[in-house]
Structure 1
């Protein structure tokens, strides 16, 4: 009996047969797997939405220092992410990951969950490991002007120890370009979680920079001395207003001492012989006969006719506080021989906000209380309006000394109460954040680390070109002399038209951009019936300014429109027919157009600038984003904006976002505010409303290929 021999095995053939069988099973079973996974995807998406909402509640609870609520919200977020992770680990998902048209969906979904989980992990560490710090120790108490720095140092160490590497890695992997088809539910979840990750990272980076800077600012390594100035919103300057009250703030190991403040008026030195200036007291600092040494030549050139480098009334004509801060410190040193470490600027709306946590009223001395109708003190919520407007009804042009004495008293009392402490830490933190957001509080430090920390939280008043975004900034300087600017209305109509999207060799994306900006001023001030300090006009046409010999109630404002240096002006038109003061200049790497606009009493006026140039775009998942940043000067009056953005030919607008913008309320013509409208009308993005803070307008553009696919 002969044995049967097996045929020789072809290992390669066997592998190919097995592979074909498996492929057939996968392809046949694909629709079934897709059904399972689709049900899970909807559940995962809902879990991610709930988790993101819970994380927003965590941030809010931490802002209120409500640890119990933060923990409850974190538990919700963790449970939802656990459920999403469990679903994404099912056997059906493992099979689906091998299906050609399902694999990318599974991979991206798991990456989404990983990013969200990493963000929640950081939040849990913030609450759990920092619970004692936040709930018990992190009460940054100020007692008799002394700040306990230990909680600040503890917060710095806690933030520095946060394990952000996992979140950064997961976020970058998820954000990588994805060419494969993805269901809408996955694309939406991906976009949502990337926002969560970016928010978490940005918050951590800001917190790390600020907590590293605060100890130095508060004098942990020795005394720091700062020029602290009150800007009046009633007479605008680039950084916010004429500096009419100031003093020196000394901070040493957390102990703050505010020297007696002094009120100043440009007319203080009017009776002095030309070229002479009293320097025995800080209130006498006015016009120096010489410039400080080492003044920036570009600064001198731009503001030469105003003597800004040697004149405190004009030292802050430029809107950029780092530029102005150096000029203030140089001029202060020239006048007093003392070199300070930085500058802190506040305006009346900012002081009002910081006073809110300290009490309801400010006391007013009995000898003037009855005269101004403040027997029960000045209500804190009326501080800005009283000090910029109502005070002139009683202490006008003929009672300047009485007015300055009252302003000095109110300033000393306000700063004394703020620095004395006794307020709720969370309330004061919120007040500082809100005042900083609307640029009512600005800080400049000569210490680079401190400056970097405040810059990270947008507290330095820096006007600079952003990365990957378009820029527009409209700043105003009062060149009429009266305290008019809290009564006016400023409106800007901005039309943006995009054209010809191009991709550079380095992968950068940009477009040609044309824009038109029409600036309008509404001036309700009468020609009579108010004090000269309010309606007075120092402008006399064809002559040197003489106060107050101009037409009462007439406003004259020096407007500066700042933009990208890539922009070139194509047209300028003023309603009064006057040409621009300067149209082709650049300063600090920004294009700037200047125009002096005259607006009659109870009248209106305006001008229009048109420009064109190249602007950057940036890729964002399935769209390209055009971002317009409206940089806002500190003012008591809102800006009424009407902005339209037309996409490039063939492109469509997928979404429009508005970030920032402030409360939108204040004083003046538009003080009650205009509700914001964000919409797409006939394919054009449209944003309208009042704004009181920097605003980012993000227009998501869908390219023609995607438009065709969707149709």
Structure 2
């Protein structure tokens, strides 16, 4: 019965299921037999150790065994003593086989001690002839095991150089692929595949294979065998993908991308994803608490590499799958483009001053329509949101139906895109397939792809280096007339997009590298109304959605209420101080937003520093919004003066707003005191989402804990807030 129970424990002392069964049955029978004749003190020690380590129902069994042992010690003439001892041995071995495994940890050591106590006690009481026979059996078994282990160690030593070469070539090949040198990547990955194959064959030779039946050695043999085979398969698939799925080789020529080349990449990328998935399964099978640290570390490194490569391969495969339809391979696609400027801020980033309609057919993009945003306001008088319930009340208060320029008045881009989708048909357009958001920094990055452009009326060409500064600041010095300036900006947008959609562009990897910083900074965003394509945008991180609240959260936005372009001269500093109380599961925090207004009171056009509401020129009128899961306690401005605060709930978090008027060439701070519950059982996590402002915010975070708790790891963060930031802090009692 004990042997059957041991089999049900599914212990794996070797890498062979048949030898596992033999060994665990032999162990169970040996411990039961030893327990039946061991001394009562051995019963108590063995069952006591088991009772301390066991959990769940098995802890009850261990306590029962301990009780029997104590009774045996108290009563030297315990009835049915051999049966009681066998029961103690059986309960001990069954419990030990079900302890939580750890890599050479306390559980393993304790189990060995408990079993050794019983066996040692029985050994001391055994007859001399019995001990002699057992010694012979033990020496023979150990000799065979050492011989097998030695043969395996010799084979590993012989294969070591080949394995190291395979790993080196694989790493070099992946590096070459990331650098866009696919020809060299394919060559190196092919060499890696052949080297892994050679190592796998050697490790699977006839005199290395018996190692699978030796405890501990078997796990190492299986791990090396699985990893070398998986390395060969992945390297071969990656080499094939490097030849046949050259992403960098996808080049826009004469304004058109060859969609057939995109489709041809589907099969090799699918093979690569499949090989990586199988490698992940192999790595999971190779895991064992008995692996020595050097091999265990190599296995962990391999698992992480496979995980990262799988994510990249899945992204590439998904992109290749949806790109033809996205670019009009199945019929014309139509995308609304919002050209925005954070010189007049909205919570997503900037005021939408112009728009475009980008059409795609058979891999060719065309900016078929452009216009000033006022044209849409005039074209759709009397329009209504077809489903206003999809939008937060505070967002609807911007009166989107009347003022298209306010469509970027919320930080969640999918919400912005839905508002565009509902209003565009009522403004003279038709159905849309998606929405794009482009600000001056993103437009400047597009010039990295097209090269400089010359726009009539400007003597110097616009380049990737000077375009953002000109669009945010320089234009307001060059144009005193707002209509002339708006027309010039439309000309710039059309010129850049004409260059993009009519000439030759670099490879896809180069394009991605050029535009990735703007996507991270939420300056270039994309939303598709087709679910498969939207999932790709989410995977690429260009969807602009607010992330879910996974602990603490902070995002500070501002909206210009002065109807001017003064925010190019505004700088913000955000200070976030948090005090945690892990005992209560609460946080007390303060958010201080300091606005530094560098605008003068004169010297710039009225549409830059003027205020139609009557505030002095150069005054920055801003509505500051703080997004947080915590509740508001108090809010004050510089000098401790109270401030009126609006409160609402949006996107699963609280939002607090305050209207501030910052005089020219001065600064003003507003502090929000917050508190509320947080799940601190696994530590503290803060996610910070930036607003794509004209000048990146400066962020300072400090996290402390109430006595007797202390933070573990860095509890501070100081950075220019140009992309999403996360801070994870451990907590420990002092």
TM-score, structure 2 normalization:
0.70
The within-5 A match list for 1:386-397 is 386-396=470-480
Aligned to 2:5: none
Once the two structures are superposed, residues 125-184 of structure 1 have per-residue CA deviations (whole angstroms, 9 ceiling, x without a partner) of 311443xx558xx433242x443322222234543x225345335435646997837655
Aligned-pair CA distance for 1:517:
3.7
The within-5 A match list for 1:72-87 is 72-74=187-189, 78=193
Once the two structures are superposed, residues 305-354 of structure 1 have per-residue CA deviations (whole angstroms, 9 ceiling, x without a partner) of 32134421212201112111111122222222633332111111111111
Contact 2:230 2:282 in 1 (8 A): no
Does residue 588 of structure 1 match 2:651? Answer: yes
Once the two structures are superposed, residues 484-519 of structure 1 have per-residue CA deviations (whole angstroms, 9 ceiling, x without a partner) of 2233323333445666499xxxxxxxx766654433
Aligned-pair CA distance for 1:110:
6.0
Aligned to 1:610: 674
State how far apart, in whole Å, the 2-side matches of 1:501 and 1:189 are: 39
Aligned to 2:126: none
Contact 1:465 1:471 in 2 (8 A): no
State how far apart, in whole Å, the 2-side matches of 1:78 and 1:111 are: 14
State how far apart, in whole Å, the 2-side matches of 1:571 and 1:75 are: 64
Aligned-pair CA distance for 1:403:
1.0
Does residue 216 of structure 1 match 2:319? Answer: no
Structure 2 residue ranges without an equivalent (≥5): 1-25, 31-129
Once the two structures are superposed, residues 440-485 of structure 1 have per-residue CA deviations (whole angstroms, 9 ceiling, x without a partner) of 221222222222222221222111316x665433333222322122
Aligned to 2:351: 242
Aligned to 1:167: 276
Once the two structures are superposed, residues 524-564 of structure 1 have per-residue CA deviations (whole angstroms, 9 ceiling, x without a partner) of 222233333333334xxxxxxx2xx2122232333333345
Aligned-pair CA distance for 1:219:
1.6
Decide whether aligned partners of structure 1 residues 490 and 122 sit closer, same or farther in structure 2, where only a CA change above 3 A counts: farther
Contact 1:308 1:315 in 2 (8 A): yes
State how far apart, in whole Å, the 2-side matches of 1:318 and 1:633 are: 10
Decide whether aligned partners of structure 1 residues 77 and 41 sit closer, same or farther in structure 2, where only a CA change above 3 A counts: closer
Aligned to 1:71: 186
Aligned to 2:599: 525
Aligned to 1:443: 526
Aligned-pair CA distance for 1:636:
3.7
SS at match of 1:313: helix
Aligned to 1:693: 723
State how far apart, in whole Å, the 1-side matches of 2:644 and 2:198 are: 63
State how far apart, in whole Å, the 2-side matches of 1:240 and 1:592 are: 17
Decide whether aligned partners of structure 1 residues 51 and 184 sit closer, same or farther in structure 2, where only a CA change above 3 A counts: farther
SS at match of 1:378: coil
The within-5 A match list for 1:340-359 is 340-359=432-451
The within-5 A match list for 1:4-19 is none
Once the two structures are superposed, residues 266-319 of structure 1 have per-residue CA deviations (whole angstroms, 9 ceiling, x without a partner) of xx6xxxxxxxxxxxx547458x445333222643x2234321344212122011
State how far apart, in whole Å, the 1-side matches of 2:564 and 2:172 are: 51
Q: State which of 453, 460, 475 in structure 2 corresponds to 1:362.
A: 453
Does residue 20 of structure 1 match 2:113? Answer: no
Decide whether aligned partners of structure 1 residues 134 and 386 sit closer, same or farther in structure 2, where only a CA change above 3 A counts: closer
State how far apart, in whole Å, the 1-side matches of 2:291 and 2:731 are: 16
Aligned to 2:83: none
Aligned to 1:253: 362
Structure 1 residue ranges without an equivalent (≥5): 1-10, 269-280, 503-510, 539-545, 618-623, 654-681
Does residue 455 of structure 1 match 2:538? Answer: yes
The within-5 A match list for 1:495-514 is 495=577, 500=582
Aligned-pair CA distance for 1:604:
2.6
Aligned to 2:264: 154
Contact 1:629 1:697 in 2 (8 A): yes
State how far apart, in whole Å, the 2-side matches of 1:418 and 1:85 are: 50
Contact 2:234 2:272 in 1 (8 A): no
Aligned to 2:61: none
Decide whether aligned partners of structure 1 residues 237 and 173 sit closer, same or farther in structure 2, where only a CA change above 3 A counts: farther
Decide whether aligned partners of structure 1 residues 193 and 363 sit closer, same or farther in structure 2, where only a CA change above 3 A counts: same
Contact 1:513 1:615 in 2 (8 A): no
Does residue 57 of structure 1 match 2:175? Answer: yes
Decide whether aligned partners of structure 1 residues 410 and 111 sit closer, same or farther in structure 2, where only a CA change above 3 A counts: same
Contact 2:170 2:189 in 1 (8 A): no
Structure showing the higher helix proportion among its residues: 2
State how far apart, in whole Å, the 1-side matches of 2:241 and 2:724 are: 29
Q: State which of 136, 140, 143 in structure 1 corresponds to 2:251.
A: 140
State how far apart, in whole Å, the 1-side matches of 2:162 and 2:731 are: 27
SS at match of 2:444: helix
Decide whether aligned partners of structure 1 residues 315 and 129 sit closer, same or farther in structure 2, where only a CA change above 3 A counts: closer
Contact 1:561 1:593 in 2 (8 A): yes
> Which deviates more from structure 2 when the two are superposed, residues 36-45 or residues 342-351?
36-45
Contact 1:212 1:453 in 2 (8 A): no
State how far apart, in whole Å, the 2-side matches of 1:18 and 1:646 are: 64
Q: State which of 377, 390, 403 in structure 1 corresponds to 2:461.
A: 377
Once the two structures are superposed, residues 616-651 of structure 1 have per-residue CA deviations (whole angstroms, 9 ceiling, x without a partner) of 88xxxxxx7865433233334223233345689999
Aligned-pair CA distance for 1:595:
3.1
Aligned to 2:372: 263
SS at match of 1:474: strand
The within-5 A match list for 1:182-581 is 184-264=293-373, 281-282=375-376, 284-285=378-379, 288-289=381-382, 291-296=384-389, 298-299=391-392, 301-336=393-428, 338-359=430-451, 361-365=452-456, 368-369=457-458, 374=459, 376-396=460-480, 399-426=481-508, 427-465=510-548, 471-495=553-577, 500=582, 515-538=589-612, 546=613, 549-564=614-629, 567-569=630-632, 572-575=635-638, 577-579=641-643, 581=645
SS at match of 1:293: coil
> Which deviates more from structure 2 when the two are superposed, residues 174-183 or residues 220-229?
174-183
State how far apart, in whole Å, the 1-side matches of 2:152 and 2:204 are: 15
Structure showing the higher strand proportion among its residues: 1
Computing the radius of gyration over CA atoms, which structure comes out larger, 1 or 2? 2
Contact 2:340 2:351 in 1 (8 A): yes
SS at match of 1:164: helix
Contact 2:237 2:275 in 1 (8 A): no
Decide whether aligned partners of structure 1 residues 86 and 245 sit closer, same or farther in structure 2, where only a CA change above 3 A counts: same
Q: State which of 691, 699, 723 in structure 2 corresponds to 1:641.
A: 699
Contact 1:451 1:460 in 2 (8 A): yes
Contact 1:514 1:613 in 2 (8 A): no
Aligned to 1:672: none
SS at match of 1:386: helix
State how far apart, in whole Å, the 2-side matches of 1:80 and 1:652 are: 50
> Which deviates more from structure 2 when the two are superposed, residues 115-124 or residues 36-45?
36-45
Decide whether aligned partners of structure 1 residues 224 and 551 sit closer, same or farther in structure 2, where only a CA change above 3 A counts: same
SS at match of 1:330: helix
SS at match of 1:226: strand
Once the two structures are superposed, residues 423-446 of structure 1 have per-residue CA deviations (whole angstroms, 9 ceiling, x without a partner) of 223433433434333322212222
> Which deviates more from structure 2 when the two are superposed, residues 596-605 or residues 345-354?
596-605
Contact 1:44 1:87 in 2 (8 A): no
State how far apart, in whole Å, the 2-side matches of 1:37 and 1:478 are: 72
Aligned-pair CA distance for 1:598:
3.7
Once the two structures are superposed, residues 604-625 of structure 1 have per-residue CA deviations (whole angstroms, 9 ceiling, x without a partner) of 33324434333488xxxxxx78
